[in-house]
Amino acid sequence: MSAAPAENPREPGPVYKLWRFAREIVIIVVIALLLSFVIKTFFFRAYYIPSGSMEHTLEVNDRIFANLMVPGPFELERGDVVVFRDDLGWLPPLEQAPSAFQNVLSFVGILPAADEQYLVKRLIGMPGDTVEYDAAVGKLKVNGEAIDEPYIYSGNKPSDMEFSVTVPEGKIWVMGDHRAASADSRFHTDIQGGFVDMDSVAGRASIISWPVSRWGTVDSHEEVFANVPAPTAK
């Protein structure tokens, strides 16, 4: 006589199935939040471009991702488009406190820290560099070497004002690509000489993520500075 087949275990009810589905969703959300937190803390973070100071490299309303590993473990270089905190008060104060929703988006890395302000400019002078503009020459000079800057906004001069500065240790000199519409280091010489602290740099702009039509990388134009000599020790 053959043995009777074993009875099938009892099928789980709809309440159990719903609870299991909800548990899986919660686990997925928690993992996604943790991954997002790790990525935005150590690797990349999203930023929004509100002005035309970097046109046409970056346009108004562009969304970018900045590489947070620059500076350290990777070093900054001349030509990098850097994102830095407004620690020196170049921008007017925030008009209102961030909302709870903005704080959540900041936490997961979709927005930068909601209670801090950031600027985006091109790094022209590294510590020790002498950066100058002589209208008679019509070009910027870095350590005496005149440079051609293909990223400057069409029709703009390299600068609307003459200047000559030597960048102190631990600082950088930054300028917008839209030189006629950028309140950059040239316009803040009354605040720390116009120099930005290296420690204020949050990262290097690497990718344009939005709008879709502008997907691509942000060029540092290393060729512009290829012939610039090392700064003369003083």
Report if residue 7 sits inside a domain.
no
- Whether residues 206 and 122 share a domain: the answer is yes
Confidence class for position 97, pLDDT limits 50, 70, 90: low
Instruction: Count the helix, strand and coil residues of the chain and give each as a percent rounded to the nearest 5.
Output: 25, 25, 50
- Between 208 and 73, name the one with better pLDDT: 208
Whether 217 and 193 have beta carbons less than 8 Å apart is answered as no
- Whether residues 84 and 129 share a domain: the answer is yes
pLDDT digits (tens, 9 = 90+) for 99-136: 776 666 666 555 666 667 999 999 999 999 999 998 99
3-state secondary structure of 146: strand
Q: Is 154 a catalytic residue?
A: no
Confidence class for position 86, pLDDT limits 50, 70, 90: very high
What CATH number does the domain containing 78 carry? Answer: 2.10.109.10
Confidence class for position 35, pLDDT limits 50, 70, 90: low
Q: Is 121 a catalytic residue?
A: yes
28 pLDDT more than 60: yes
Angle between helices 14-42 and 100-108 (to 10 degrees): 70
Percent of the chain with pLDDT over 90: 62
Confidence class for position 70, pLDDT limits 50, 70, 90: confident
Structural domain including 117 reads 44-225
- Whether residues 27 and 78 share a domain: the answer is no
Confidence class for position 179, pLDDT limits 50, 70, 90: very high
- As a whole number, the mean pLDDT across the chain is 86
- Whether residues 77 and 34 share a domain: the answer is no
Confidence class for position 36, pLDDT limits 50, 70, 90: low
- Whether residues 36 and 50 share a domain: the answer is no
3-state secondary structure of 171: strand
Residue tagged active-site, from 40, 99, 106, 121 = 121
Residue tagged active-site, from 40, 53, 106, 220 = 53
Number of domains observed in the structure of the chain = 2
